[in-house]
Chains A and B, each alone.
Chain A
Amino acid sequence: GQQLNQSPQSMFIQEGEDVSMNCTSSSIFNTWLWYKQDPGEGPVLLIALYKAGELTSNGRLTAQFGITRKDSFLNISASIPSDVGIYFCAGTFSNTNAGKSTFGDGTTLTVKP
């Protein structure tokens, strides 16, 4: 089946630093999604990407859909304490697998004030 490799698994950074995380897959996707999950809550959609090569920003967040359709990255600029949480990538190839999304294992971000 489809698998996503998300890295890094965890990050410990200083407030103000930039963050970069990525996901790679052995299969192609036609949608990449990035989510943030706070403890005890459901994941919240941050950015949705629909085209290979697409670069999309949401405030301090920027994500790109890789040209090969097998990878995506998420950058966070000038991190702040509330960026703490677990970030998940998800890939979907709508025409197969009943449109189910495949999720990465998450990147746990810790921001030190």
Chain B
Amino acid sequence: GAVVSQHPSRVICKSGTSVKIECRSLDFQATTMFWYRQFPKQSLMLMATSNEGSKATYEQGVEKDKFLINHASLTLSTLTVTSAHPEDSSFYICSARGFNSPLHFGNGTRLTVT
């Protein structure tokens, strides 16, 4: 079964609103969680690395004030897309890694901004 749960799987929001996506590790403590964005027929584009209890590290070109990441516990990280615009529409995926476990992915969130 799934070891990383991502919620919601789909969300439609209006331009200017904010959307929160949750990523939970189900049966292990995730020391590190990663957030990706994926465009159609392309590979995963890493947005940020999230370590529990510390600030996320963002990849070059990713606006940290627009994509707020909170890793409040060893099993939960959240990504908030603030003031969403249509160009933010995409497939967002999280992944999590524990002390002795390989990287597992959530099932993705399809965000559509109208």
Q: Is A7 an interface residue (CB 8 A)?
A: no
Question: How many of A's residues come within 8 Å of B, CB to CB?
Answer: 22
Report the count of interface residues on B (CB-CB < 8 A).
Answer: 23
A103 at the interface (CB under 8 A from B): yes
Known A33-B103, A42-B105, A45-B102; contact A99-B57, beta-carbon cutoff 8 A: no
Dominant SS among interface residues on chain B = strand
**Residue A67 interfacial (CB < 8 Å):** no
Q: Using an 8 Å CB-CB cutoff, how does the interface string of A5-35 with B read, 1 for contact, 0 for none?
A: 0000000000000000000000000010101
Given A41-B108, A42-B6, A45-B103, decide whether A103 and B43 contact each other with a Cβ distance below 8 A. yes
- The reply to whether the CB of B19 lies closer than 8 angstroms to some CB of chain A is no
Report B57 CB to chain A, min CB distance, Å. Answer: 7
A79 to chain B, nearest CB (A): 21
